[in-house]
Structure 1
Amino acid sequence: MRNNVFYWKCDSPIPSQEKIAHFFNNKYTPEVREAVGGALHDFLGHSPESLVILKSDGNHLVAKFSDKGTDYFFRADEGRVTDDVYLLAESTVMNLLNKQGLPVPPVYHTDITLKRYPFRFQIMEFIRFPCLNKFAKENTLDEKTIASQSGHFLAQIHAMHFPGFGFFDTDKLSADGTMKGLDASAGDYFRKCLDKHLAYLTVHELLLPEKELRIITAFDKAVPLLNSVKGSLLHRDYAYWNILGTENEIKRVIDWDDSVSGDPADDFGIISCFLSDELVNIILKSYTEHTGVDDSFRTRIHLHCLRNMLWKTVIRHSLGYFDKGKEFFLSMNNGTSLRDYTLRKIDIELEKLENAL
């Protein structure tokens, strides 16, 4: 289980070089391709009419297959961590949200056993719309309209509450279907792996010791704000590459692999890592049509944004993101290097948090 994980891509036990080889290279060996065909045959009762392997710069094997006029999406992890069955929690969350009428794909089948195939997998609805990052890079995305829709969506998922905090306990979910966070408090989850992340950044000279001390001091002052927080369902990677749709409409929100029970301000802390203050405020405006946002909530956005920038910087450095070209999904449209943007964002959010306290 994810007992010692704050964010999976950053904190999983897979060594960095193996992550790099896995994320950015062809995952479909002939043996894997044959196994995928077998899994689809089991699901349908016969072979699919078509099977198209899709490119994935990420954690999963992905493919599109068709049968009797219906397109499906196949998504799998290779079982590289034997006790991580979080695909079960992800599928459960997605189906809960889909049943409430929210724009989340339904999952038709989930297999976490590794008994017949060398991967755990999901089969779900195939969405024909591209991710919004495509339109953002083309400067055709109506960001203000999408921001307004995002506020309504986030308010609805945050209205779902669960006991505990952090990643869901998949042992309990498997045993009795109960969704419960692994951590006792929001503060416990917030501080998980924090020392490890700070140590990495200082060792690699991405943070100077005096800045590390400022961050620790600010966190010590702000973390008590989490004491009264109730655990809500969070996406924890709500960004354009995980939203499918058109230039002005959200059709589906995907990739719930990092969903947790936590502080609603944390989703805004993720969003603030990428979007301007103007767009974040538009999201907050529609969000407040459903629920209140006070000064503590706004301060916690800065708290979470800074915390999230720390693990994001670890990932971006350790997995070589800073060296990727302009076609990389995180590349900046304005020509700013990802490294410069990332380190500057840490400075900005630290200053915002210090001023808010």
Structure 2
Amino acid sequence: MNATTITSSAPPANAADLVSPSHRRTTYYWKCDRPAAFHGTTGRTDAGTLQSALKQALQEKFPSARLSLEPGHGQGNHITFIATVDEARRFVRVEDGPEKDNYLIVESRVLHEVRTLGLPAPRVHAVDASRESVPFAWQMLDLVDAPDLNHFQKKGELDLPRMAGEIGAAIARWQCAEPAGYGPFDPAQVMETNTLCGFHASYEDYFFLHFERHLRYLTHQQLLSSREAAEIESEVLLHRPLLALNQGCLVHKDLALWNILGTPEGVAAFIDWDDAISGDAMDDLSLLACFHDGPVLARALEGYQMLRPLPTEHRRRFWLHLLRNMIVKAVIRVGAGYFEKSDGFFLIGSGSSGQNLQTFTTQRIASALQGLRGDLPVASL
């Protein structure tokens, strides 16, 4: 398959032959559930070994352009580069995992959807997940000339409650997208019909993927006791009826300040949609609560309600998803060694340590469980 340029609503010809079966069908969250768990977090291929091959692939895509390439020094689980194509600077991401994941195709379609809804997000200029000419998938996007908001938060320069209102309104706006199905989107559907369709027929099926395994892992690693894990499982099962959704909405699924570019004055772009799913309206709001407290969440809810009413049982749905997301984040943080890192790591606040992050993680799991049990106000977090 040649690189696909995302410039129109039509899928490429013979799309059904271009997409191999996806591991995403059987994952709740890619970073910890993928067959090569924690790939790109505990170690990665030297970007220098990819640069030459990537430059050749880009030159084939843009044969008449003057093209240069330099490392992008990204902190996520993709290898990143900055490309100059004639006079335009672009951002390039590489997925080099052994699973040959093709979700960059999906993310490119999601970004098109988000931009169509009027939200700030990078434009995709080209994507190739075929691995026919190079042994990795790549995606070229706009280079947004702005730091992430976490940069300003660490320096104490961000009015986070005010910004949370803007973020909450953006969540409400992208929830206008209501894809078919639930969970991660099927790349084959994107290629064949140019539509976003979740792999799962019910949201409950997606929500419980690897739930017990995640809890067992945390008890084995002694982050949770067996009693704590049993209490969590019991409370989640008690609120299982909340998962009976009639319609999913677009969920970013990795919403955090480091995935929002801009300045203290406003958002320039929402980025890193490569974990996006069709899911619950309270999921992205609960993801903010994985890092921030009640006053910030209260402002996010205010911004959300300016465009969209809160769903029924919104408090318990919020706590239920906060609990599920914190369990996943705990699995990643343990497995990828985040608790051993210093405050130079993007996830750890200035002056804090990995031990502080571990304490925060266990406390936030306990708070989510308490909130779910008591149907507590979100602002009580």
Normalised by the size of structure 1, how large is the TM-score?
Answer: 0.94
How large is the RMSD of aligned CA atoms in angstroms? 1.7
User: Which residue of structure 2 lines up, in the alignment, with residue 300 of structure 1?
Assistant: 317
Q: Give CA deviations for 1:31-80 in whole Å, capped at 9, x if unaligned.
A: x1111111221232146443221112322121112233211111110142
Task: Give me the whole-angstrom Cα distance separating, in 2, the residues matched to 1:269 and 1:59.
Answer: 22
1:242-281 map, 5 Å: 242-281=259-298
**SS of the residue aligned with 1:300?**
helix
Question: CA, structure 1 residues 149+354, in 2 after alignment: closer, same or farther (shift >3 Å)?
Answer: same
Which structure carries more helix by proportion?
Answer: 1
Residue 33 of structure 1 pairs with residue 51 of structure 2: yes
Q: Which structure 1 segments of 5+ residues have no match? A: none
The 1:80/1:212 distance shift into structure 2, 3 A limit, reads same
In structure 1, how many angstroms separate the alpha carbons of the residues matched to 2:283 and 2:70? 36
Q: Take 2:246 and 2:310, find their aligned partners in 1: how far apart are those partners?
A: 13
CA spacing shift, 1:201–1:172, aligned 2, 3 Å: same
8 Å Cα contact 1:62-1:73 kept in structure 2: yes
Shift of 1:15: 4.5
Aligned-partner SS, 1:161: coil
Query: Which structure 2 segments of 5+ residues have no match?
Result: 1-21, 377-381
CA distance in 2, matches of 1:294, 1:174: 32
Q: Which residue does 1:21 correspond to in 2? A: 43
Q: How many residues align?
A: 352
Q: Does 1:56 align with 2:78?
A: no
Residue aligning to 1:145: 162
* Residue type of the alignment partner of 2:57: A
In structure 2, the partner of 1:133 is: 150
Change (3 A) 1:178 1:209: same
- Aligned residue for 1:121? 138
Q: What is the aligned counterpart of 2:249 among 206, 218, 232?
A: 232
Equivalence map 1:195-210=2 (5 Å): 195-210=212-227
TM-score (norm 2): 0.88
SS at match of 2:26: coil
The amino acid across from 1:311 in the alignment is V
* Structure 1 residues 228 and 3, CA gap change in structure 2 (3 angstroms): closer
Instruction: Give 1:305 shift.
Output: 0.4
Q: Secondary structure at the match of 1:129?
A: coil
Whole-Å separation in 2 of the counterparts to 1:272 and 1:301: 9
Q: CA deviation at 1:3?
A: 1.4
User: 1:265-313: per-residue Cα shift (whole Å, max 9, x none)?
Assistant: 1111111101111111101111111111155012111000011110110
Say whether the 8 Å CA contact 2:202–2:245 is kept in structure 1: no
Q: 1:212 aligns with which of 216, 221, 229?
A: 229
Q: State the distance in 2 between where 1:295 and 1:264 align.
A: 10
The question of whether the paired residues in 1 share the 8 Å contact of 2:175 and 2:281 is answered with yes
Seen in structure 2, the aligned counterparts of structure 1 residues 72 and 16 have a Cα distance that, compared at 3 Å, is closer
Equivalent position SS for 1:124: strand
Q: Secondary structure at the match of 2:180?
A: coil
Q: Distance in 2 between matches of 1:277 and 1:187?
A: 27
Q: How many angstroms does 1:172 deviate by?
A: 2.2
CA distance in 1, matches of 2:121, 2:332: 27
1:311 aligns with 2:322: no
Deviation at 1:326, TM superposition (A): 1.2
Contact 2:29 2:275 in 1 (8 A): yes
Amino acid at match of 1:5: T
Which residue number in structure 2 is paired with residue 182 of structure 1? Answer: 199
